[in-house]
Amino acid sequence: MAEPLRIDLWSDVVCPFCYLGSRQLELALARFEHRDDVELVHHAFELDPGATLSLVSLDELLATKYAMPLERSRAMHERLSQQAAAMGLTWSLDRARSTNTFDAHRLVALAATQDLGPAMARRLHAAYFSDGLVVSDRATLDELASEVGVSGSASLWAGDAFADDVRADEQLASELGISGVPAFVVDRKFLISGAQGDDPILEVLHRAWAER
């Protein structure tokens, strides 16, 4: 095939459904006969561009934001953690702290120039949801980049490199009518919104391939 089957994925590294959806995509691709002919491209989407580091727990933030009892927010997060565990992921949401993700998206954009975009995005998700790391801290981002094998991360913080790439991703999402994440666009034709499961994703992959 002349061109790979392209999957464009808009997500945020602090979005639980994005992490679940990304894992569901991995599971779907593992069962896709043409996995070697797939190209995955990550795009930036900030759930809260104005976010700053919060010192309160995600349970408390969710309860305050939606005016719900703390017990309910805890139960919601527990259900998400159970869904993650069912897919082989270990979450520690009690350690996660809401923060800004703009620099993390810049790092993913840098990683993409080294064919490490998906790997960098996966590591950032794990850093936030499993390790309780602050993904706005630049020293932490440098360490994570080193783990993945991305070079040149320290140079990002001296200027605004890849800032335009992040804004371009978000503008494109707006033009496509994408208002929530995760959002998968398969072969520039098929839109999958949300973490629907690996079976529905696999079905779309097969349909996209067949229509070629």
What does the pLDDT look like over 165-197, one tens digit per residue? 999 999 999 999 999 999 999 999 999 999 999
- pLDDT recorded at residue 122: 97
What does the pLDDT look like over 52-100, one tens digit per residue? 999 999 999 999 999 999 999 999 999 999 999 999 999 999 999 999 9
5-53+99-211 is a CATH 3.40.30.10 domain: yes
Question: Residue 2 is which amino acid?
Answer: A
* C-alpha of 60 from chain center: 23
CA–CA separation, 195 and 183 (whole Å):
9
- pLDDT recorded at residue 109: 98
- For the entire predicted model, the pTM comes to 0.95
CA atoms within a 13 Å half-sphere pointing along the CA-CB vector of 134 = 13
- pLDDT recorded at residue 29: 98
Q: Are 142 and 110 in contact (CB under 8 A)?
A: no
Average pLDDT, the chain: 96
Q: Which two tokens stand for residue 139?
A: 């020293």
- pLDDT recorded at residue 212: 87
pLDDT at 16 over 90: yes
- pLDDT recorded at residue 1: 55
- Adjacent-strand bridge partners of 6: 39
CA–CA separation, 77 and 94 (whole Å):
9
Q: For 128-136, what is the mean pLDDT?
A: 97
- pLDDT recorded at residue 138: 98
Question: Residue 132 is which amino acid?
Answer: G
CA atoms within a 13 Å half-sphere pointing along the CA-CB vector of 79 = 7
